[in-house]
Each structure stands twice: as C-alpha cells, then as structure tokens.
Amino acid sequence: MNDIDPRPTTSDISRRRFIQGSALAGFGAFLAACGTKGAGSAAPSAASEPPASTGSSPSPTTAATSSAPQSPSAELNFANWPLYIDTDDDDKTKHKTLEDFKAKYGTEVKYSEIINANDEFFGTIRPALQAGQDSGWDLIVLTDWMAGRLVRLGWVEQFDLANMPNKVANMLEIYKGIDFDPTDDHHAPWQSGMTGIGFDNAVTGALTSLESLWTADPKWVGKVTFLNEMRDTIGLTMMRKGKDPSKVTDADVDEVITECQKAVSDGIVRAFVGNSYAEDLVSGNVVLAMAWSGDVLAKQAEKETLVWQLPDEGGMLWTDNMMIPKGAQHKYTAELMIDFVYDPVIAAQIAAWVNYVTPVKGAKEVLAKDDPELANSPLIFPPDTFLAKLKIFKSLTEAEETSYNDKFSTLLGN
Amino acid sequence: MGARGRLMRLTPYLLLAPGMLWLIIFYVYPGIQMFISSFWSGTLETGFTVSLDNWTTYTDALTRYEPQFARSLVYGAAATTICFLISYPLAYTIAFRGGRYKNVMLFLVIAPFFTSFLLRTQSWKIILGDDGILFGPLKDAGFLPPEFRVLATPAAVVAGIAYNFLPFMTLPIYVSLEKIDGRLVEAAKDLYAGPWRPGGTIAGAIIGTIVGAGLGAALSYDILVMAIVGLGAGLVVGSLFVSESFLRIVLPLSLPGVFAGSLLTFIPAVGDFVNAEILGNTQTRMIGNVIQSRFLENNDYPTAAALSFILMAGILAMVAVYAKILGTEELTSAG
C-alpha cells in the first residue's frame, strides 16, 4: 500500500543509510498488498507481452543451445522484485552484478523489476504456463509458498546441477532439502527476511516476548497490529505457544484463529495490515507490531526509538527463490546466472546493497574485508543463535492452503 | 437522395457505435465471462468445470457474507446522508449566493479530484491520526480521553467514503438549483410565502432526530446522544433557515439533482473497498473487501464472481425502487 521510496537523491548521505532506504523500498514493494508499481520501467503489459525478440527471430545462440556443447545465449529475461539487486547510485538502470555477468558470458540480461506481489505476478504467467507455453521469462523470483505451488504444478524446469558448481557448494545448510523441493534442483534461494516484533521503545519499554502481543497493557491496547500475511501471523501465534510452524496442522490453525480472535475482541489488536504498520509506528498510531526486520530497521532513520526484536519464542524466516519457468527459452543461461549469484563475491555485492539475509556461504567473509560493520549485521548474516530460533512455514498442499487462507480471511473480516 | 437518405437513417447507429463497442468489449463481454465463472467449481491446480448445479455458490455466498453486505449498505447509506447534509447547503450557497465567485467555488469542490484517490484516503490517516493534528491538541487539552481514536473504526470509513464522493453529490444538486428561475421565488413571496415557523420547527426536529439516531447506529456511537444532537440541529435549521418559498419552490425543483446525486454517491460507496482497507479494521470490512480477497488472495473465483453479481442485482433492485418512489419524470414535470 505504501509507495515508499526514500532513496536519497544527494550523495552526501552515508552509504549505510542509503542501503537501509533501499531495503525499505524493496520491502515495501515486496510486501505491498495492493501491488504498487515499483521503480522498474517495465509496464504491467510486460508479462503478457514478453520482452522483445524472445518469440521472434531466434537468435543464433538459441539455436546453438540445442547442440551438444552448450553456450550462453545472447540474452536472458529476468523478472525480480523492485530494488532487489545492487544498483548504481547514479544510474538506476545499471546493476554491477549484471554487468559482471555480461563481461563473463557475453549475455545481455534483460532485468525487469516487475514483481510486486506473488499472486499478482502468478496471475500474469498462469495463462501461458497452463497452456504449456513459454511465459517469456527465463528466471523468476517468488516467495517459498508460491514457489512451492509452481513446483507442485510442474511449471518449473529442473536444474542441471552439473552446470551449477557454486550453487551446489555454497548454498547454506539451513536452505537444503525444503519440503517442496527435497532435491534442491527446482529452486535456488535469492534472499531471505525475518518476521518478529517491532515496537517503539520509548512507549512500551524493551519487549522480548510474543506474549506482549496478547497482553492488554494500557500502554499499547488498541495500538497493536498483526500482519495480514497468513503465514506470518499464524507462524508467530504458534511459536508463542511453543509450536513449530514448519509442522502446522489443521488443529493448530483453528487454535491460532481463536487466539487471534481473542486479541481482537480484547481490543488489543487495532488492525491486520501489510507493511503500512511501518508508517504507523513512526506516527505513533501503532506502538507494537508483528514486523518484518527490514521495515523497522529502515524506519529507525525517522524514529530512533523503534526496535526490531527476534522474540524469545522465535521468529519466521521466509525466502524468495529463483526458478526457471517451464519452457523457458534460455534455460542453460538461466542456470549460469543462478550459479553466478552463488559466487560469494557476487553474493556479497548484492547483499551489501539490498540488506537482506543472503543464502550464500562465504559472502560474509568477503564482505568483512570491505565493510566489517555490515558483515556483522545480524539482519544480513543472522548468527547461529538467530538461525536456531527461526522457522520456515510448512509448504502447504493446495487443499491446506485453501482451507487456511479461508479461515484466515474470516479472521480478517473477509 | 437514396444514398443520402440511407446515410441519414444510419446516422444514429454510427453515432452510437463507439459507445456500444466500448460497452460490449469492456462491460458485456467481461460480465458474461464473470457470470460463467460464478458457476465454476474446482481449484486452480485441478482446473475449473462449469455446471449449473453450482448455483449454490450464490446462496452460500449470500449466507456467509450477509454481515458484510449489510455493513456495505449501512455505510453507503450513512455516507450518502452525510454527503447530502454537506452538499445541499453548499450547492445552494454556490448557486444563489456565489455571485462572481461561482466558478472558483465550483473549482474548489472538484479540486481534490486532481489528487489520486489513494493519496487522498491516505492523507485522512494523517488528519485523523490518534495523536494527529486534529485529535492531538484536543487530547492535550483534556477534551478527549487519551485512548480515543477514530481510525480503525466505522466512523473513519464512513467519513472517508463521504469525503471521497462528496463532489458526486454536490454537482448534480448545484446543476438543478442553478436552473431554478429566481422569479418563481419572488412570485411566491408576493403571494405571501413567509418563514415556515411551526411547520419547519416540527419537521426539523423529527428529521434531525431520525438522521442523528440513524447515523449513531451506523457508526456505532451512542444512539441517544446522536439523536439529541440531531434534534438540536434539526430544530435550529428548521426554524431559522427553512422558508415557505424554499419548501414549495426550491426543494421540489431541486429533487432531480438530489436523486441523481444520491445514486452517484450511493452506488460507488456500497462497492467501495479502499476506504475500509486503509481507514478501517477487521470489523469494518465491506463487501468490496470480500470480493477483492476472494479473487486475489483465496483464488476463489466462483464466490467472488457470485458476490459481484449479487451486489449488482441488489443495487439495481434498490435503484429501481428508489426511482419508482422518486420518479425522475414526475420530478422534472413537477412545480
């Protein structure tokens, strides 16, 4: 909902601050329920109308991919979320990572910051994929649950892991063997983020427990928001009760709904929102919220007393994943690109700009040489004490997803 | 003569063609598509099949979302009433007292439309903020308790809708008032039309009480307090501002504008979901929010389509009844 784009236009602002701003904008766009248009110039029509030359005049390299020794294609169509890759301070269309890729393989990456919401983007590629046609994209990035859906539908290509030595070697252990892709050859994590609690320390004092979200303390009654993302709210509510959201059951969901309903009828919860809670934390309408790490971090620039806390009971970890849609024109080159961003040097370059959790082993060591402060940020490189407390929501079957969404909608008044 | 005659006969159709084409492509065709999808069953992953047996989607949807339907009608009616209460005096002043500032004042009525709907609604969050520019000072001065808030309550949603659709009420009323011949009022005065004291006072008191109580119920405020406020306001307005010439000349002649204005306000207000989304909370969801969530979040296309058709049919029926009661033809010939 919030079209936040606090990127500074002047260069006299610290790099750190700059990174935070960008992360917020990325977060904002990423989580925007209403699908605000991002910085990308790609119009909404871009998905239905694949970028030029994908369909027409087959490039010589496309023809070459069919013969035995594969070579990178002349172009690669890459769809991603806004502000989710390192970007030149002066020229928003320049991304060093993509230029490095071109220098190495000669491929022109057509990078579109077109994905603003999982459902919305899914809607644009569904007709083509359902009809067994090329979606126009070679590489797309979607959140776990949507990635799970695409894998279940059989709408993504299987990777040839022989082409991806970096990915095989450098993907962090915590990401391996996820339920929707136990063999790790249909998806590759791009970046991750965390869900915990955010609060205004000046009003609430320091909080460390999820219990506070259910406590009718006069300091925050009616000034608490929960998230309108089903997986985040159900996940945190389960963790409060000491349950594991990666093993959610129907009974758990029913219990969660009752618990949340209680917080609503007790007058504690003001509303269920998307990332608009970040604005409300600054204005004081909200003083305690279920919150995404990057949002609060970025808003500290406007209100220093804001704190993001990984609750004692634990928090949620979610991941956006790279996938190759079925029938993609440049599958081999897409595999090269995935492998390329799993090179620790490249991963560090991206992580330093976007301020998210990177899934690549060795990126921290690379970054430590340039920017030790950033390398020590628990929000980019969560230490083991963090990781131990983070859970990934179970990948749901369609029947479960429909049922849970439905119950959650009822809680939200829909 | 022959060719020319044929062309003349075709002219009305040629003039209609662009509009008809537009309607067919962007209204009729998607409407049919949506109607068919309301008879689907299945899921995204298994695919959808059409069957007339799925008419139960309609009854299920109506039963399950009855509260949201009712709420939409109540909020729509409340917002329309508020719009009318603000618009009528405003339009009257512009039309009869505007003088050379008429155009400027009309421009000011439309001016907010130069800003995006979303931005205007967002800005209400700043105005109505718990410690914002409106309530902050009142709370500091002790007039309001610290926990008082308007945001995330029905009042914020209705206020947002009323604000966003105000020009749709003001402009039609202005147009109908503007056309009234001032000599009719002069003639009425010559024929001893004076102030309407006892009648106006009683009518004002009754209408004020009803409107106050109704708004109190719609916004979940204290009905008794709101009724008393309405009674007071009605008394003052009825006894001081309503004259016989207004009652017998101006009001009847402006009713077509009121009719058009209420339709233009009520119909989009009932279907609105932006105000409830931004300014409301879980207890203020309207039917538009449900349709949006069914379509985009739950991939439940049949229910969403069925809800849309129920809403359309319901509004159509209400408009028909309203037109029957306040028939436009009689109105325009009245007076």
Average pLDDT over residues A293-319: 88
- Three-class SS of residue A289? strand
Query: How far apart (Å, rounded) are the C-alpha atoms in residues A167 and A172?
Result: 9
Please give the DSSP secondary-structure letter assigned to residue B246. Answer: I
User: Across the interface, do A221 and B147 touch by the CB < 8 Å criterion?
Assistant: yes
Q: Does B33 touch chain A (CB under 8 A)?
A: no
pLDDT classification of A164: cutoffs 50, 70, 90: very high
Residue of chain B whose alpha carbon sits nearest to that of A403:
B298
Q: Provide the pLDDT for residue B330.
A: 52
What's chain A's average pLDDT? 82
Tell me if A246 sits within 8 A of A391, measured CB to CB.
yes
Shortest Cα–Cα distance, B129 to chain A (Å): 6
pLDDT in tens, A174-232: 888 888 899 999 999 999 989 999 999 999 999 999 999 999 999 999 999 999 889 99
Shortest Cα–Cα distance, A14 to chain B (Å): 29
pLDDT in tens, B285-306: 999 999 988 987 788 889 999 9
Strand-pair category, A139-143 with A315-323: antiparallel
Sign of CA dihedral A102, A106, A108, A109: negative
Q: Provide the pLDDT for residue B194.
A: 85
How many CB contacts within 8 angstroms connect chain A with chain B?
A: 80
Query: How far apart (Å, rounded) are the C-alpha atoms in residues B251 and B1?
Result: 51
User: Across the interface, do A398 and B125 touch by the CB < 8 Å criterion?
Assistant: no
Query: How far apart (Å, rounded) are the C-alpha atoms in residues A237 and A155?
Result: 33
pLDDT in tens, B139-150: 988 888 888 899
- Contact residues, chain A, for B298 at CB < 8 Å: 402, 405-406, 409
Measured from the Cβ of residue A317, the count of other Cβ atoms closer than 10 Å reads 24
pLDDT classification of B107: cutoffs 50, 70, 90: very high
CB nearest B285 (choices: A223, A405, A413)? A413
pLDDT in tens, B9-29: 889 999 999 999 999 999 999
Cα B287 from chain centroid? 15
CB nearest A272 (choices: B43, B68, B282)? B282
Q: Does A222 touch chain B (CB under 8 A)?
A: yes
Helices B154-178 and B66-97: angle between axes, nearest 10 degrees: 40
Measured from the Cβ of residue A162, the count of other Cβ atoms closer than 10 Å reads 8
* Residue A272, beta-bridge partner list: A226
User: Across the interface, do B299 and A402 touch by the CB < 8 Å criterion?
Assistant: yes
- Contact residues, chain B, for A284 at CB < 8 Å: 129-131
pLDDT classification of A32: cutoffs 50, 70, 90: very low
What is the residue type of A230? Answer: M
Q: Provide the pLDDT for residue B4.
A: 81
Backbone angles phi, psi at A70, to 5 degrees: -80, 145
- Contact residues, chain A, for B125 at CB < 8 Å: 279-280, 283, 285
User: Across the interface, do A409 and B299 touch by the CB < 8 Å criterion?
Assistant: no
Kindly state the tokens that stand for A219. 């300091």
pLDDT classification of B329: cutoffs 50, 70, 90: low
pLDDT classification of A55: cutoffs 50, 70, 90: very low
Residue partners of B64: CB distance under 8 A and separation at least 6: none
What is the residue type of A339? Answer: D
Average pLDDT over residues A30-36: 35
Kindly state the tokens that stand for A210. 């999820």
Percent pLDDT > 90 in chain A is: 57
Q: Provide the pLDDT for residue A69.
A: 61
Asked if the model's pLDDT at residue A338 lies above 60, the reply is yes
Kindly state the tokens that stand for A178. 């996820």
In our burial notation (b when 16+ CB lie closer than 10 A, e otherwise), range A222-243 reads: bbbbbbbbbbbbbbbbbbbeeb
Strand-pair category, A139-143 with A188-200: unpaired
Shortest Cα–Cα distance, B215 to chain A (Å): 22
Query: How far apart (Å, rounded) are the C-alpha atoms in residues A129 and A106?
Result: 29
Maximum separation of any 2 CA atoms in chain B, in Å: 84
Only one residue has tokens 């109607």, namely B35
Shortest Cα–Cα distance, A33 to chain B (Å): 10
pLDDT classification of A117: cutoffs 50, 70, 90: confident
Please give the DSSP secondary-structure letter assigned to residue B251. Answer: H
